[in-house]
A and B are shown apart, each in its own frame.
Chain A
Amino acid sequence: MTAVLIAVLALPAAGGVLAALGHRHRSAGWLATGFAAAGLLAAVFLPASRGDGPLWHRFDVAWAPAIGLRFDIGVDGISYPLIVLTALLTLLCCLHTMSETTRRPTALIGLLLAVEVGILGVFLAANIVAFFVFFEIVLLPMYAIIAFWGGPGRRAAAAKFALYTVLGSLLLLVGVYVVVSSTGTGDLVALAESGGGGMSPATQLVAFALLGVGFAVKSPLWPLHSWLPAAHTEAPTVGSVILAGVLLKMGTYGLIRVGLGVAPEGAHAAAPVLLVLAVAAIVVGGLICLAQRELKRLIAYSSVGHMGFVLLGIATLSGTGITAALYGNIAHGLITGLLFFLVGSIKQATGHGMLTELGGLRTTAPGLAGILGFAALASLGLPGLAGFWGEAFAVYATLAGDSTARAVAAAVAAAGAALAAAYLLRMIRRVNYGPPTAAVDGAAAALRVTPIRLALWGPLVAATVLLGVVPGLLLDGFTAAPFLEWVSR
C-alpha cells in the first residue's frame, strides 16, 4: 500500500506541474483541481491495509546519504489527520480560486499545489533531513502567492514572511544537523523510539533550542509571530486559508514530531520556558486582538493565541497535553480556515476589512452572518465544537502537573480563553449586528451564500461540528500511535 503513500504526494505534484505548464489555460486549472481532489481521495484511503509498525506505511529509499538524507516517508495516527486536512483545504482553495474571479487562476493553483506538496511532505517525512527539505519547499510558492495575488501592502508583507520564516528554518537546519551529526542517523522513528539516539542532555538542549526556535517562527509562537499579521492581512483569501489552516501546523507538528521526538531531554529542560511563552502567547494574543481594527489582522492575531494553547499542551510533555495539542492543531486548521474563507469573502465583496466600515451583516446577508457567527463561536472554544477539546485539555494537562506554577499557568491560560470570547464577540458585534453600513449594503449580492460557497464552507462547518461531538474520531488515532507513548514517557 505504499503506492497510496506515494500517490498522496505525487498527485498534487503532478497537478502542480500541469498547472505550471498550462498556466495560461483555465482548463489546466480545472485539471489540476482534479488532481488535488484525487490527492484528497488518496489521503483519505491511507488507513487502508495499514501495517502494525509505528508507521502505517513506509517508503524509504536513499537520496543523499552523505548528508543523512533519505526519501523516507510514512504515516501514522498523528500525521494522518493533518494530511487529510491539508489535502482538503487545498482542494477547497483550488475550487475557491476557480469559482471566484481570480487573476491568473491556473498559476495560483499551481502554486497552491506546490505548497501542498511541501506541507504534505513535512507531515509524511520520517527522515529529519527530508523533513527539512519539504519544510523549505513551501517558502517560495507561498511567497509568490502573497506577493503576486495579495493586497496593497503585499510586497513588504511577503518579504517579511519569507525573510522571517527562512531565518527560522535555517536555525532549524542547524538544529537538524546537530542531531544528525551527533547521532549519525536522521531516522525520526528510530530517534523517537530511542529517546534521542543517545545524545547527551546538553546536546539535546542545544538541538531542541535550535529546532524549537525554527518551529516557533513558523507556528508562530509569541514573540516570534510578527510576520504573521502582515502576511495574513495582505495575502489573498486562499493564501490566508492555507497559511493559517495548515502551514502554521508545520511548526507545531514539527515541534512535536521532531522537537520532542529527537530531543526529549532537551524538551524537558526547556519545558518551563515553553510554558511561560505559551501562556504569554495566549494572553498577549488575546489582548492584542481586543484592540484590532482590521478583520483579517484580528483573526491572524487570534492564531497567536490559539497556537499558544497548542504550545501549552506540548509544554506539559504529557500524553494528555500532546494529544490536546494535536487536536487543537486540527481544530484550529478547520476553524481558522473557515474564518479566513468568510472574512476573505466579506473583504472581497465590500472592499473593506476595517471593522468600522462593516456592520449589519445579519440584516443584509443572514446566511453569511450565521456562518461567521458559528465560526466565531467555534474559534472561541465553545464546547461541542472542535475548538473546545484541544484548549480545554491543554488547560487540564497543565493543571495536572500538580505544582503551583503549573496551576497558575493553567488559570491564566483559561482566563485567556475568556479573552478569546471577548474579542471574537466584539468582532461579531461589529460585523453582524447594528444597522448595515454603506459598504455592506452595497454588496448584498456578493455576500450571498451561493451553492458553490456552501459546498466550499460546508465541509469545514460539518467537520467542526463532527469533531466537536465525536472527538474520539481523531483521539483514538493519536493515542494509538506509538510515537505518542515515546515522547510522553
Chain B
Amino acid sequence: MSASIWLLPLAPAACALAGLLVPPSGRRPAAAIAVTGTAIAFVTAVALAFGGGTYHFATRLAGFGDITVHAAVTVTPVAAYVAVAVATVALLVQVYSYAYLRDDDRYVPYAAQVALFTAAMLLVVVSDDLVLLLIGWELMGACSYLLIGHDRRLPEAPAAAVKAFLVTRVGDVGLLLGIALLGFHTGSFRIPEVLAALPDMTPGTVTAAALLVLAGAAGKSAQFPLHSWLPDAMAGPTPVSALIHAATMVAAGAFLLFRLLPLYTGAAAVVVALVAAVTMIGAALAALASDDLKRVLAWSTVSQVAFMFGGIAVAAGDAAVFHLLSHAAFKALLFLAAGAVIHVAGGNSLAAMGGLRHGAPVLFTTMTLGFAALAGIPPLSGFWSKESILGAAAGAGGLTGNLVLWAGIVTVALTAAYATRAWLLVFLGAPRGSTGHDPEPLMRWPLLILAVPTVLLGVAAFAGPVSGEPPHLWPTLPVLAATALGAAAVYLWWRREPATDPATRLGAARPLFAAGFGFDTLQRALVVIPVTLLGRFASWADVTIVDGAVDGSGHVTSATARRIAGWHLAGLPRHLWFTAAGAVLLAAVGTAAYLGMWA
C-alpha cells in the first residue's frame, strides 16, 4: 500500500513523458495516455482516502556530505483528500480539454503537459521531504509556464507565461533559502524531523525560515505582493486556468503552509494574517471592478486563497484545507463553465454577455451553484469552509485572529457582491448576441460532476475528518449578514438599471480597482525597469570596463611595441649608444647591489 503512493505522482508523470513522444497528429492516443495516467492517480488517491490511514515510503535520493535528501512520501487522510481533489479536477480537465481543444494542432503536447502538471502537484501533496517537495513545486511552475503560453494566437500569452514563471520563481528564491535554513538547523529535510526539531531552534531563525517559506507560498498562491501573475495567466486556455486555480499551483502554497503549520506562530503568523487580509480585500475589490469574466474569477481565486492563508495564520490548518477542497470544487466548476460561456459569448468581456440562462440550462444551473458556493450561501460548500476559518479566527482572538476575522467579514460581503454581479451580468438581463447553448457532452459532464462536491462537500465534511466542529453563532451571523448585504446591494443596483454594470457604482475608483490598484505599474517601475537598466549597465560595463581593461592592455602592449620598434629604426650609432649606456647602467646596478641597495 505504502509504495503505491508513488503511483500518485509517477503514473501521470510517466504518461506525460510517453505523451511527449506521441506525434502531433495522434490526438486520440495522446488523450488516452493522459487520461489513463490521471485516472490511475485518481483511483490511487481514492483508495488511499478510503483506507483512511497514514502511509509512508522513503528511500535515500541524494547525499550531499552532511545532509541527505530522501525520496520520502507520506499520505495522511488530509493529504489523501487533497490528492483526490487534485486528481478529480485534473481528470475532468483532461476530459474537458479533449473537446475544448478540438481544433488545436498542439493538443498532443498540451495533454502531456497537463499530465505533468498534475504529477507535479501530486508530488507536492505527497512528498515528505522538503527538497522533493521543491522539485514538484518548481516543476509546476515550469508546466504553468508552458501551458499559459500555449495559445499562439494570443500575443500576450508568452509574456503572461514568462511573468507567471518569474514571479513565482522570485518567491521560490525565498522557499529555497527557507528550506536550506531549516535543513541546516535541523539536519534534515524530512518534514516530520524538521518540525520535531523546531523547539531547538532560536525563535528568530524559525521566524526567518517561516517568512522565507511564506515568500514561496505567496508566489505560488498569488498572494500579495507576488499576486500579479495570476490575472495575466488567464491568457492560457480556460481548462488550464481551472487546473491552476482549483487544483494545482494556487492550492500548493496553502498546502505547503499547512504542512509546515508549526512554523507559523508569533510574528510569522501576524505577517501571514497581514498578507491574507491585504490580499483578500484587495483582490475582492479588483474582482468587483473587472470587466473580464476570467479575471473576475482569477481575482476571486486570489481572494479565496487568502482565506486559506488566514486559516493558517490562526493555526486552523484543517479549516484551511477544508476551504482548499471546497474552493477546488467550485472554482473548477466556475472556470470550466466560464470556458463554455466564453465560447458562446465569443469573448471574455462581461459587457458582451447576458441572458444566457435560457439557452444553456445546464450551464446556468451549474454555474449558479458555483457562484453561490463562492459567495458562501448556505448550505453550499463555500459557506461551511469559510465559516470554519472565520470561526477559528474568532476563537483565536488577538491581533492575528481579529485581523483575519474582520478582513474576512469585509471580504465575504465583497465576495457576495462580485459573485452576484458576475452571475447577473452573464445569465440575467437581456441577451446580448447569442443566447447560447449548452456545451457538448464531454464538456458538460465535468460540470455536472463538479456540481456534486460544490453542493455537498460542506455537509459531507462533518462526516469526514477535516473539521468536526459545528458552526458557532458568532461569527456565523455577521458572516451571513455580510453575505446578504453584499449580494443585496449589487442586486438592488442592478434592478434599478439592468442594462448597466453594477460596478459603475464604484465610480472613479473602478479603473484603479480593475487594474489591481496599479500594482503592475508599480512592479514595473520598481523591479522590471531597474533590473533591465542594471542589465544594460552591467553589459556595458563588461564590454567597456572589464573587457576594456583586457583590450586596453593589449593596446598598451601594442603601442609600447611600436614605440620600442621605432627606437630600433635609427641605425648603427644608436645600437652603440644602447651598448655603452647598458654597460654604464648595469655597472650602476652592480654597484647598487654591492652597496646593499638591492632588495
Residues of B within 8 A of A284 (CB): 538, 542
A320 contacts B by Cβ under 8 Å: yes
B428 contacts A by Cβ under 8 Å: no
Tell whether, in the assembled complex, residue A422 and residue B183 are in contact, meaning their CB atoms are under 8 Å apart.
no
Complex Cα–Cα for A411 and B170 (A) = 11
Closest chain A residue to B170, Cβ basis = A418
Contact partner of A389 (CB less than 8 A), chosen from B62, B538, B550, is B62
Tell whether, in the assembled complex, residue B177 and residue A384 are in contact, meaning their CB atoms are under 8 Å apart.
no
B61 contacts A by Cβ under 8 Å: yes
Which of B81-89, B157-165, B411-419 is the interface stretch?
B157-165
Residues of B within 8 A of A414 (CB): 173, 176-177
Which of B33-41, B284-292, B434-442, B527-535 is the interface stretch?
B527-535
Contact partner of B531 (CB less than 8 A), chosen from A290, A389, A421, is A290
Which of A102-110, A240-248, A396-404 is the interface stretch?
A396-404
Tell whether, in the assembled complex, residue B158 and residue A434 are in contact, meaning their CB atoms are under 8 Å apart.
yes
Q: With A422-B166, A425-B166, A434-B158 in contact, is A291–B139 under 8 Å at CB?
A: no
A139 contacts B by Cβ under 8 Å: no
Residues of B within 8 A of A422 (CB): 166, 531
A9 contacts B by Cβ under 8 Å: no
Q: With A290-B531, A383-B137, A425-B162 in contact, is A488–B177 under 8 Å at CB?
A: no
Which of A24-32, A141-149, A468-476 is the interface stretch?
A468-476
Tell whether, in the assembled complex, residue B63 and residue A392 are in contact, meaning their CB atoms are under 8 Å apart.
no
- Chain B, residues 531-568, CB within 8 Å of chain A (1/0): the string is 11011111110100011001000100000000000000
- Contact-residue size bin, chain B (C-beta under 8 Å from the other chain): 35 or more
A50 contacts B by Cβ under 8 Å: no
- Chain B, residues 147-191, CB within 8 Å of chain A (1/0): the string is 001001001011101100110011011001100110110000000
Tell whether, in the assembled complex, residue A415 and residue B173 are in contact, meaning their CB atoms are under 8 Å apart.
yes
Residues of B within 8 A of A318 (CB): 65-66
A366 contacts B by Cβ under 8 Å: yes
Residues of A within 8 A of B162 (CB): 425-426, 429
Q: With A226-B550, A425-B166, A433-B158 in contact, is A476–B63 under 8 Å at CB?
A: yes
Tell whether, in the assembled complex, residue B173 and residue A479 are in contact, meaning their CB atoms are under 8 Å apart.
no
Complex Cα–Cα for A292 and B149 (A) = 23
Query: Shortest CB–CB separation between residue A251 and chain B, in angstroms?
Result: 17
Tell whether, in the assembled complex, residue B66 and residue A320 are in contact, meaning their CB atoms are under 8 Å apart.
yes
Complex Cα–Cα for A423 and B542 (A) = 17
Tell whether, in the assembled complex, residue B532 and residue A290 are in contact, meaning their CB atoms are under 8 Å apart.
yes
Tell whether, in the assembled complex, residue B531 and residue A411 are in contact, meaning their CB atoms are under 8 Å apart.
no
A324 contacts B by Cβ under 8 Å: yes
Complex Cα–Cα for A399 and B174 (A) = 13
Which of A366, A418, A476 has most chain B Cβ within 10 Å? A418
Complex Cα–Cα for A225 and B177 (A) = 28
Tell whether, in the assembled complex, residue A291 and residue B62 are in contact, meaning their CB atoms are under 8 Å apart.
no
B135 contacts A by Cβ under 8 Å: yes
Contact partner of B177 (CB less than 8 A), chosen from A164, A363, A373, A399, is A399
B145 contacts A by Cβ under 8 Å: yes
Query: Shortest CB–CB separation between residue A466 and chain B, in angstroms?
Result: 12
Residues of B within 8 A of A382 (CB): 138-139, 142
Tell whether, in the assembled complex, residue A164 and residue B152 are in contact, meaning their CB atoms are under 8 Å apart.
no
A153 contacts B by Cβ under 8 Å: no
Complex Cα–Cα for A399 and B208 (A) = 13
A307 contacts B by Cβ under 8 Å: no
Tell whether, in the assembled complex, residue A287 and residue B534 are in contact, meaning their CB atoms are under 8 Å apart.
yes
Tell whether, in the assembled complex, residue B173 and residue A288 are in contact, meaning their CB atoms are under 8 Å apart.
no
Query: Shortest CB–CB separation between residue A169 and chain B, in angstroms?
Result: 16
A198 contacts B by Cβ under 8 Å: no
B60 contacts A by Cβ under 8 Å: yes
Tell whether, in the assembled complex, residue A323 and residue B536 are in contact, meaning their CB atoms are under 8 Å apart.
no
Q: With A363-B152, A476-B63 in contact, is A287–B538 under 8 Å at CB?
A: yes
B29 contacts A by Cβ under 8 Å: no
A319 contacts B by Cβ under 8 Å: yes
Complex Cα–Cα for A173 and B137 (A) = 47
- Report B111-159 residues with CB < 8 Å from chain A CB: 131, 134-139, 142, 145-146, 149, 152, 155, 157-159
Tell whether, in the assembled complex, residue B180 and residue A395 are in contact, meaning their CB atoms are under 8 Å apart.
yes
Tell whether, in the assembled complex, residue A292 and residue B67 are in contact, meaning their CB atoms are under 8 Å apart.
no
B408 contacts A by Cβ under 8 Å: no
Complex Cα–Cα for A24 and B60 (A) = 53
Residues of A within 8 A of B155 (CB): 434
A362 contacts B by Cβ under 8 Å: yes
- Report A469-489 residues with CB < 8 Å from chain B CB: 470-472, 475-476, 479, 484, 488
Contact partner of A396 (CB less than 8 A), chosen from B64, B539, B546, is B64
Query: Shortest CB–CB separation between residue A295 and chain B, in angstroms?
Result: 15
Closest chain A residue to B189, Cβ basis = A396
Q: With A291-B536, A324-B64, A488-B65 in contact, is A392–B176 under 8 Å at CB?
A: yes
A134 contacts B by Cβ under 8 Å: no
Query: Shortest CB–CB separation between residue A179 and chain B, in angstroms?
Result: 24
Tell whether, in the assembled complex, residue A471 and residue B542 are in contact, meaning their CB atoms are under 8 Å apart.
no
Tell whether, in the assembled complex, residue B60 and residue A383 are in contact, meaning their CB atoms are under 8 Å apart.
no
B24 contacts A by Cβ under 8 Å: yes
A393 contacts B by Cβ under 8 Å: yes
- Chain A, residues 402-418, CB within 8 Å of chain B (1/0): the string is 10000000110011011
Tell whether, in the assembled complex, residue B139 and residue A226 are in contact, meaning their CB atoms are under 8 Å apart.
no
Tell whether, in the assembled complex, residue B539 and residue A292 are in contact, meaning their CB atoms are under 8 Å apart.
yes
A152 contacts B by Cβ under 8 Å: no
Tell whether, in the assembled complex, residue B62 and residue A471 are in contact, meaning their CB atoms are under 8 Å apart.
yes
Contact partner of B65 (CB less than 8 A), chosen from A164, A319, A418, is A319
A80 contacts B by Cβ under 8 Å: no
Tell whether, in the assembled complex, residue A383 and residue B158 are in contact, meaning their CB atoms are under 8 Å apart.
no
B355 contacts A by Cβ under 8 Å: no
Tell whether, in the assembled complex, residue B62 and residue A475 are in contact, meaning their CB atoms are under 8 Å apart.
yes
Which of A287, A324, A366 has most chain B Cβ within 10 Å? A287
Tell whether, in the assembled complex, residue B135 and residue A383 are in contact, meaning their CB atoms are under 8 Å apart.
yes
Tell whether, in the assembled complex, residue A472 and residue B546 are in contact, meaning their CB atoms are under 8 Å apart.
no
Tell whether, in the assembled complex, residue A433 and residue B152 are in contact, meaning their CB atoms are under 8 Å apart.
yes
Tell whether, in the assembled complex, residue B152 and residue A362 are in contact, meaning their CB atoms are under 8 Å apart.
yes
- Report B383-432 residues with CB < 8 Å from chain A CB: none
- Report A290-323 residues with CB < 8 Å from chain B CB: 290-292, 318-320, 322-323
A442 contacts B by Cβ under 8 Å: no
Contact partner of A164 (CB less than 8 A), chosen from B172, B176, B540, B550, is B550
Residues of A within 8 A of B146 (CB): 373
Tell whether, in the assembled complex, residue B109 and residue A479 are in contact, meaning their CB atoms are under 8 Å apart.
no
Complex Cα–Cα for A284 and B539 (A) = 8
Query: Shortest CB–CB separation between residue A252 and chain B, in angstroms?
Result: 17
A172 contacts B by Cβ under 8 Å: no
Q: With A383-B137, A395-B180, A425-B165 in contact, is A291–B109 under 8 Å at CB?
A: no
Complex Cα–Cα for A362 and B550 (A) = 40
Closest chain B residue to A399, Cβ basis = B180
Tell whether, in the assembled complex, residue B63 and residue A479 are in contact, meaning their CB atoms are under 8 Å apart.
yes
Complex Cα–Cα for A160 and B546 (A) = 14
Residues of A within 8 A of B62 (CB): 389, 471-472, 475
Closest chain B residue to A304, Cβ basis = B542
Residues of A within 8 A of B63 (CB): 472, 475-476, 479
Known contacts A290-B535, A410-B177, A417-B173; 13 further A-B pairs (Cβ under 8 A): A226-B550, A287-B534, A287-B539, A291-B539, A370-B109, A383-B131, A399-B184, A414-B173, A414-B177, A415-B173, A470-B61, A471-B61, A484-B65
16 A-B interface contacts by CB (under 8 A): A226-B550, A288-B535, A289-B535, A290-B536, A291-B538, A291-B540, A366-B24, A382-B139, A389-B62, A392-B134, A417-B173, A421-B165, A421-B166, A470-B61, A471-B62, A471-B69
User: Which 3 A-B residue pairs are closest in the complex by CB-CB distance?
Assistant: A319-B65, A290-B535, A226-B547
Interface residues of B (CB under 8 A from A): 20, 24, 60-67, 69, 106, 109, 131, 134-139, 142, 145-146, 149, 152, 155, 157-159, 161-162, 165-166, 169-170, 172-173, 176-177, 180-181, 183-184, 531-532, 534-540, 542, 546-547, 550, 554
Interface residues of A (CB under 8 A from B): 160, 163-164, 222-223, 225-227, 284, 287-292, 318-320, 322-324, 362-363, 366, 370, 373, 377, 382-384, 388-389, 392-393, 395-397, 399-400, 402, 410-411, 414-415, 417-419, 421-423, 425-426, 429, 433-434, 470-472, 475-476, 479, 484, 488
